[in-house]
Structure 1
């Protein structure tokens, strides 16, 4: 994880289905293999052990299919297959459809410019957290009914939750009580208000009923918001800051994007997303046999899809380790694929585009302080937690 790219290249070229005996899992590294596997939606692969299982989970080898967890208290819905996962996602997804997301464009632009009004006079600040990080955290606050003044605290909590602990990696379950300090009060406030229409995501969780007819309590409803709370806060700022750094390293590309912001920024943002997305992998557990490259993955065994390796696969992207702002991208795995495709895909793309466009519109010159940038250790992320910038 200090520098995974050369390792991914070896895997793609020589071990596209690499078995790790310690964890009884197979690592998939090629774009086409991951593209095809994630498209399987018949219950062959499930996330019943979590999409980021910790070491103590992986250390226990399964002897067959892993059952769904108990329903009470209801854990995060991503660990279930149909119908629970699909039903909860269906209730949350209307807020993230293209038409709903388009209504956020002006609000994101206002928030971005409010941040720039505060930051630019300072001359130097952190491009990752101080700019994009605060803006997207504010958006998540407004989506979930969390007071916007908690945005900075929330951002720090989410970023801390992805840091690796020696010997165990990232145990997202251990970090959740901290997240729930923000989410449970938001759900409780919404339940007490007896209103609908303004917070459709939270309202959907309050209206949801399990197959036995039981409603969710506040903690259970809050737990179903974790994907939006975490994913909506930590990924976009790292793409934006890293992407602007890559443009700054290439003055000719930066000039080309600036020449026509309306056309150049969306194209550049697609390449930033491919090149700079911090998440490296996500896991699934087999529930049915599946054969790949002549090997059968048995029920109970795990796979990890190395999405970041797929983003650098020469078979899909010529010259993949180079940053080309106008690279034509016909297929992408940066947001996943299939059943667990990122629910906030349209909002994330909008946020990246607006944050980059407003930066380039208002900041004529900027310099990244390379020796001050930091990548903190994580067992599933390879992203810049801090990128100091001078304007």
Structure 2
């Protein structure tokens, strides 16, 4: 047990490397109270799994799913109501039915059957990147391979030309940077995101967009409970989950996963032996081991008791997904990377009402990016000394992994 232990997701030491803190939390403080934030941290797999499955209004995201330290520092005195309807914030801040209704507007393209139709396009994008990158010999595995492919998919989903993929990727990366002590200030980055999205919404509304764009069309047709329609800006805000989440997570998982395989040559050889069959298996361990999302928050609306601790309305919980993915109670030797580990349950993409909308798309992208890399790159080296994983309260992942390919 760490001497004089204390934990906060915004502690600079935690943001630099949260893993030793998670181990202590799981072993000694499964429900840990962060006094300055009036927030309880849940670190064990079963606790997070069970809490996220509760969908009866006990937990809401009215203060956001990723509130900054300044938001959590404000103490509530009783339940927190849903935000006002206008201007409509991101729909995840609402409870059902509004949250569910708006989510359905954006969900059609992310259902399994719709996602499967993207496989050839994602493979084409991956090979376009490899055609450009491999002759160079050295490049950034996170940003220049997976990053551009993921950003290109997002561009096509939200109606932007893929020529903007590099700009979109840079914008999302900049908006996700965290300051030690405060975390990610999503509100500060939002105007930059909306500069891309609002013109697309305006084109669709005016009938000037070339072709169908369901995510925007459905949001424009939606009516709020008071009967009002969404403004262009409000429609764009509802698209941020796709715009941000689809851009920043997949590249970190793929690049880190390829690094882990390289660290274990026997495992790399095993996966290479049959990429079509083995990459989908390895993908699940790579997601467990490498997913960068650390936690999500909920505000308690109904009194809730866990491990003899009663949490009052207005207080918060943070579900430590990354800690749960390393819980010895769920995974044997969780700090060991094992490509063919049987994984019965996963929390890397959340669970319950707020389960990641892009789950199926992300898993497809990860599989294709891994398969095409292993098919075309016979040998590669990682420049570990130049790899960079910046401090973060949320997306703690390898932003830069320099790679040298040997062909």
Q: TM-score, normalised by structure 1?
A: 0.98
Indicate the residue corresponding to 1:76 in structure 2: 90
Aligned twin of 2:115? 101
Within the alignment, does 1:48 sit opposite 2:62 as a pair? yes
Residue matched to 1:137: 151
The answer to whether the aligner puts 1:291 opposite 2:305 as a matched pair is yes
Secondary structure class of the residue paired with 1:22? helix
Does residue 260 of structure 1 match 2:299?
Answer: no
With over 3 angstroms needed to count, the CA separation of the structure-2 counterparts of 1:87 and 1:322, relative to structure 1, is same
* Structure 1 runs not aligned, ≥5 long: none
Residue deviations 1:103-154 (CA, integer Å, cap 9, x gap) = 0000000000000000000000000000000001000000000121111011
* Partner of residue 269, structure 1: 283
* Secondary structure class of the residue paired with 1:366: strand
1:196 and 1:203 in contact (8 A); partners too:
no
Query: What's 2:325 paired with?
Result: 311
Kept in 2: contact 1:31–1:311 (CA 8 A): yes
Give yes or no for the alignment of 1:330 onto 2:351: no
Distance in 2 (alpha carbons) for counterparts of 1:369 and 1:183: 36
CA distance in 1 between partners of 2:130 and 2:244 (Å): 24
- Alpha-carbon distance in structure 2 between the residues aligned to 1:51 and 1:351: 24
Q: Aligned ranges for residues 79-94 of structure 1 at < 5 Å?
A: 79-94=93-108
Instruction: Show CA shifts across 1:241-268 (max 9, x none).
Output: 0000000111100000001111110011
Cα root mean square deviation, aligned: 1.1
1:120 to 127, 130, 134: 134
Equivalent residue for 1:8, pick from 3, 6, 22: 22
Task: State the TM-score, normalizing by the size of structure 2.
Answer: 0.95
Alpha-carbon offset, residue 198 of structure 1: 2.4
* Greater than 4 Å deviation, 4+ residue runs: 194-197
Question: Which residue of 1 is the match for residue 167 of structure 2?
Answer: 153
Q: Is this contact kept in 2: 1:137–1:154, CA < 8 A?
A: yes
Counterpart contact for 2:285–2:339, Cα < 8 Å: yes
Counterpart for residue 347 of structure 1: 361
Q: Secondary structure at the match of 1:283?
A: strand
Residue aligning to 1:245: 259
Stretch deviating more after TM superposition (146-155 or 112-121): 146-155
Local SS of the residue matching 1:40:
coil
**Structure 2 matches for 1:117-266, cutoff 5 A?**
117-193=131-207, 198-266=212-280
Partner of residue 300 from structure 1, selected from 296, 314, 334:
314
Q: Hey, what's the Cα distance between the residues in 2 that align with 1:201 and 1:163?
A: 27
Aligned residues: 391
Deviations 1:221-250 (A, max 9, x none): 000000000000000000000000000111
2:188 is paired with a residue whose SS is: helix
Cα distance in 2 for partners of 1:73, 1:289 equals 30
CA distance in 1: counterparts of 2:369 and 2:270, whole angstroms: 18
